[in-house]
Chains A and B, each alone.
Chain A
Amino acid sequence: NAGVTQTPKFRILKIGQSMTLQCTQDMNHNYMYWYRQDPGMGLKLIYYSVGAGITDKGEVPNGYNVSRSTTEDFPLRLELAAPSQTSVYFCASRALGDYEQYFGPGTRLTVT
């Protein structure tokens, strides 16, 4: 049982490039979330999903897109990377009826 896994761990992008951050959970959780954490700050919600095929915007969705074709996977897409997207990105999942969100180890992204 690996929990929530994220790839890659680190990535450096040039301005204007695009990439997909991968997130997979093996706990059969309905709910999945993407957050970003800037240095010295708490986490801000980017997008979330309540199940396969259903996604919705969080607090800071601009510049990002998501999809949820399976229960296990919830990739986050950056289309035109900007320096403001330099951050650490965390994926989390939660079981229906449970309070706890389980977080992955994060992806550290730098846009230069």
Chain B
Amino acid sequence: TQLLEQSPQFLSIQEGENLTVYCNSSSVFSSLQWYRQEPGEGPVLLVTVVTGGEVKKLKRLTFQFGDARKDSSLHITAAQPGDTGLYLCAGESGSARQLTFGSGTQLTVLP
């Protein structure tokens, strides 16, 4: 069974601060996806990283895939209250591109 360890589990910060969320595994994944989930809704894809060492930017969010394709990080610059939510990393493997999810990071950005 593949496992993805995500940290921290909870994060509460002030508006304007920076933060990093980590996603680590001993397994190699074909790709690593980051989702965001709002209360009462399903996850929504933020980004997919495919190549080892790849860095993608989405406005104030920076996503990085480790060189060995076993780990990833999400960095948010100057966090805003609208960034509040549950952030999930998910590693892809298998012929049907099955996803293994991390346990999630609940982010709260206080105004």
Interface residues of A (CB under 8 A from B): 4, 31, 33, 35, 40-45, 48, 50, 56, 58-59, 90, 92, 94, 99-101, 103-106
Contact = CB atoms under 8 A, between A and B. Distances in A.
Given A42-B6, A43-B101, A59-B1, A105 B96 contact: no
A100 B45 CA distance: 7
Contacts of B4: 42
Nearest to A108: B40
Chain B contact patch, size range: 20 to 34
B43 A99 contact: no
Contacts of B102: 42
A58 B98 contact: yes
Given A41-B103, A42-B101, A43-B101, A100 B48 contact: yes
Given A92-B42, A94-B97, A99-B31, 9 more contacts: A33-B99, A45-B100, A48-B96, A90-B43, A100-B33, A103-B44, A105-B42, A106-B40, A106-B42
A41 B31 contact: no
A35 to B, nearest CB: 8
Contacts of A90: 42-43
A101 B100 CA distance: 12
B42 A31 contact: no
B45 to A, nearest CB: 5
A105 to B, nearest CB: 6
B8 to A, nearest CB: 13
